C-alpha cells in the first residue's frame, strides 16, 4: 500500500515537471504508471533471454521488480526535469508571467496557467 502511495506521489511530481517544462502531463503520468508495472516484466524476460538462470530470476523476482521499477521512475523523473524544455530560455528563480501574472516555479520554462514561454513578451493587442 505504501508503495502505491509513493507511485502516486512520484507520478504527480513527474506530471508537474512535464507541465512546467512544456510536456504533456497525462502522457508522462501514463508512461510512469504503465512503465512501473511493465518494465519489470520486460527486464525479467530479457534477463532470461540473455541466459540468466530462470530459477535464479524467479527466486529474486521481488528484487528484480523493485529495482527495475524504481529505475524506470527515476529515469522518467530525470528526463522530465532536465531534458524537457531544454530549448526554452531558463529562469533564474520563481517568475511571474508577463501575460497572466501567475507565479511559476523555478523549473517551469512555460507558464503553467497560460502556456506562454518564459521571457516571451506579452502580446500588445
Per-residue model confidence as pLDDT tens digits over 10-54:
999 999 999 989 899 999 999 999 999 999 889 888 888 887 787
- Domain positions in the chain: 2-86, 89-125
**14-41-30 Cα angle (round to 5):** 25
Q: Has residue 125 got a pLDDT over 80?
A: no
> For residue 110, what are the β-bridge partners?
117
CA 40 – CA 123 distance, rounded (Å):
48
Compute the average pLDDT of residues 63-80.
93
C-alpha cell at 54: 530462470
Report the predicted TM-score, pTM, of the whole model to 2 decimal places: 0.80
**DSSP letter (8 states) at residue 117:** B
The answer to whether 47 and 110 have CB atoms below 8 angstroms apart is: no
pLDDT band at 123 (very low <50, low <70, confident <90, very high): low
Going by C-alpha positions, the residue among 122, 96, 121, 125 that lies closest to residue 111 is 96
Topology, domain 89-125? ZNF265 like (4.10.1060)
Sign of CA dihedral 9, 12, 17, 23: positive
Amino acid at each position: 500500500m505504501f508503495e502505491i502511495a509513493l507511485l502516486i506521489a512520484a507520478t504527480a511530481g513527474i506530471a508537474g515537471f512535464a507541465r512546467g517544462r512544456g510536456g504533456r502531463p497525462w502522457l508522462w503520468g501514463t508512461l510512469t504508471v504503465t512503465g512501473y508495472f511493465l518494465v519489470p516484466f520486460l527486464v525479467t524476460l530479457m534477463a532470461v533471454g540473455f541466459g540468466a538462470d530462470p530459477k535464479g530470476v524467479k527466486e529474486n523476482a521481488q528484487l528484480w521488480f523493485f529495482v527495475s521499477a524504481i529505475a524506470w521512475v527515476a529515469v522518467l523523473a530525470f528526463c522530465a526535469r532536465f531534458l524537457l524544455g531544454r530549448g526554452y530560455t531558463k529562469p533564474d528563480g520563481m517568475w511571474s508571467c508577463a501575460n497572466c501574472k501567475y507565479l511559476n516555479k523555478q523549473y517551469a520554462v512555460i507558464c503553467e496557467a497560460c502556456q506562454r514561454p518564459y521571457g516571451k513578451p506579452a502580446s500588445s493587442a
